Amino acid sequence: MVARRIREATPIIPTRSGRAPWTLRRRLVVAMVAMLALVSLVIGVVSVAILSANLMDGLDDQLGNAAQRSSDVVGGRPGATDFTTTTPTASDVLNRPGQAPGTLALVYDGISVSAGYIDDSGTVVALSDDQVTQLVTELDSAVQQDGTSAPFSVNLGGDVGEYRVLAATAPRTGELYLIGLPVSSVTQTATQLAVIIGLVSLAGIIVVVFLATAIVRLALRPLQRVTETATRVSELPLDRGDVLLVDRVPAADTDPRTEVGRVGSALNRMLDHVDLALETRQASERKVRQFVADASHELRTPLASIRGYSELTRRSGQDLPPDTIHAIGRIESESVRMTGLVEDLLLLARLDEGRELEHEPVDLTRLLVDVVSDAHAAGRDHTWDLDLPEEPVLAAGDGPRLHQVFANLLANARVHTDPGTRVEVALAAEGDRAVVTITDNGPGIPENLRATLFERFARGDSSRFRGTGGSTGLGLAIVQAVVAAHHGEVTVDSRPGRTSFRVALPLA
Ligand SMILES: Nc1ncnc2c1ncn2[C@@H]1O[C@H](COP(=O)(O)OP(=O)(O)OP(=O)(O)O)[C@@H](O)[C@H]1O
Ligand SMILES: [Mg+2]
C-alpha cells in the first residue's frame, strides 16, 4: 500500500502536460552557439564600422584632391582655358584630367547652374532639375562664411545614389562650385566585409553545433549511466518478497572529484542504505512469518484435543443438564472454527515464505464438478450452474490448494448472497491459460470493501456469519495467495446484481 502510494507520487516519466523542458545538452549547446553568435556579431559590427570610417576618411581626402583640380578650372588659373569671357560649366570641371569616373560637379555663378557627373563609360551626364535643386539647397545650408564647407553626404536617389560632397568658392571669380564622389565604393567594401564575416561566423556556428553536441554528449555519458542504474533499481519490486539490491553505479562514475562522480557515489551510498533497510525488513518479516507458522502449527494439536474431548463428552454425556450440553456443543463448534482459522493462517504463512507448491497436471473439469456438487449440497436454496468445455482442461498446480480456491469462491457466492441466487461456474481454455469464472446475481461486494477485498481479514459488515463469528475475511486472501503462487491471477468485477470472479491459471 505504502509502496503503491510512493509509486503514484513520483512517476518515473513525468506526466505533466505542456511543453517539454529543455535537456541539459540542448541548453549547453544553445548557450555556446548564442555566445559565439554574439561575439561574432560584435566583432562584425565593430570591424565594419572601423573600416567604413577609414574608407570615408580616404574618400574625403580624394574629394579634397578633386576639389583642388576643379579650382584650377573655376578660378581660371594660368594654363587653363580662359574663362574671363565665358563662365565655366560642370563639364569643364569634370573633363579635367585625373577626374575619376563617378565624380560629380556643380558650378553656380549666382545666375545659372550647371551640374553633372561622369558615368562608367567616361561621358558627362547632366543631373536632373530636382537633383540640382536638392544640391543647391543642401549647398546653401552647408557653405560657411568663407565660402567653403566640410565634406558631407547627400543622397540624390535614382541611378546617382549617395554622394560625399564638398563646396568651395573660386578664389578670383567668386563662383560657388561643388565637387562630389560616390559613397558606393565605401558601402560596397563595407558590405563585402560584413558578408564575409557573416558567412565565416555561420560556418563557425555550424561547426560549433556539431562539436558542442558531441562534446556535451560525451561529457554527460557518465550521468546517463548513473540514470540507468537508478532506473533499473526503481523498477525492482522493493515492496514485497526477498529483494536483492545488487545494482550499483560503476566505480568509474563514482569519483568524488567530478560532479557526476559525486551523484554516482551518493546514489551508491543510498542504495547501500536501502539494501540494509530491506535486509532488516526481510529478516523481521521472515521472523513474523516463522512465528505465525510455528504458532499455528503448535495450536493444531491442542485444538484437536479440545475438539476430541468435547465431542467425546457430548456423545457420552446423555444425562448432563441441557445447559452443559449446549456449552459443550459451542466449545466443539468454536474449536472447529478455530482449527479452520489456524489452518488458513498456516497456509498463508507458508505461501508467504514462498514455499513451493506441487506442480502437477490438475484436471480442472473434475475438480469443478466436485466443488460445485459440494456447494450444491451445502446451499440447497441457491441455483448452481456449471458450464464445462467438451475437452478436459488441465492446469499445472497443486490439486488440494486449487480445490480450496474454488471452494472459497463458491462458499462466498453462497454465504454472501440471498437464497434463490443463481451461481454460474464456467471453465474455458484461453490461449495458454485456463480461465474459471464464478458469477452470481447477488447483492454485489460492498463499495467500501472493493479496494481491500483481497487483503487479510477484509470482510463486509453484512456478513451473515459475522454475528456467529463464521466469517474471518481470510477466504479471498488465500485465493489470491494460492493463485499468485501458481503464477496466475484473480480479478473481480462486481456491481449490485452481478459479481464475477475470474481466475486464470497456466495450462499444464
Ligand atoms: N460473491 C460475493 N457476493 C457479495 N459479497 C462478497 C462475495 N464474495 C465476497 N464478498 C465480500 O467479501 C468479503 C471478504 O470475503 P472473504 O472470503 O475474504 O471473507 P469471508 O467470506 O467474510 O470470510 P471467510 O471466507 O474467511 O470465511 C466478504 O465478507 C463479503 O462481504
Ligand atoms: Mg469467504
C-alpha distances (whole Å) from 218 to each of 22, 25, 222 are 18, 10, 8
Q: How far is CA 388 from CA 298, 365, 378, 403, 424, in A?
A: 41, 7, 21, 16, 11
Say if CB 410 and CB 376 are below 8 A apart.
no
**Domain spans of the chain?**
43-189, 236-355, 360-506
pLDDT at 168: 79
CB of 231 within 8 A of CB of 267?
Answer: no
Helices and strands (H, E) in the chain, number of each type? 10, 13
Which residue minimizes the CA distance to atom 7 of ligand 1? 412
Strands ordered across the beta sheet of 383-387: 383-387, 422-430, 433-440, 498-506, 489-495
Q: How far is the CA of 392 from the centre of ligand 1 (A)?
A: 29
**Would you state the CATH architecture of domain 236-355?**
Orthogonal Bundle (1.10)
Q: What is the CA radius of gyration of the chain?
A: 52
**What does residue 449 show for φ and ψ, rounded to 5 degrees?**
-100, -20
Report angle CA 18, 22, 27 to the nearest 5 degrees.
Answer: 160
pLDDT in tens, 158-212: 778 899 998 877 766 677 788 899 998 899 999 999 999 999 999 999 999 999 9
In this structure, the number of other CB atoms found within 10 A of the CB of residue 448 comes to: 9
Distance CA 355, CA 358 (A): 10
Intrachain domains 43-189 and 236-355 with the same fold: no
Q: What is the pTM of this model?
A: 0.58
Out of 412, 422, 501, mutate this one to test ligand 1's pocket (max ligand atoms within 8 Å of CB): namely 412
- The HSE-up count of residue 504 (CA atoms within 13 Å, CB side) is 9
* In the block, residue with C-alpha cell 558631407: 152
- Nearest residue (by CA) to ligand 1, atom 17, is 475
Q: What is the CATH T-level fold of the domain 43-189, as seen in this structure?
A: Beta-Lactamase (3.30.450)
Residue 467 has pLDDT above 50, yes or no: no
Cα separation of 41 and 194, whole Å? 10
Atom index in ligand 1 nearest the CA of residue 465 equals 22
Average pLDDT over residues 244-264: 89
pLDDT at 90: 82
DSSP state of 507: B
CATH number of the 360-506 domain? 3.30.565.10
pLDDT digits (tens, 9 = 90+) for 257-298: 988 899 999 999 999 999 999 889 889 988 998 999 999 999
Give the model's pLDDT for residue 79: 44
Angle at 338 between CA 335 and CA 343, to 5 degrees: 125
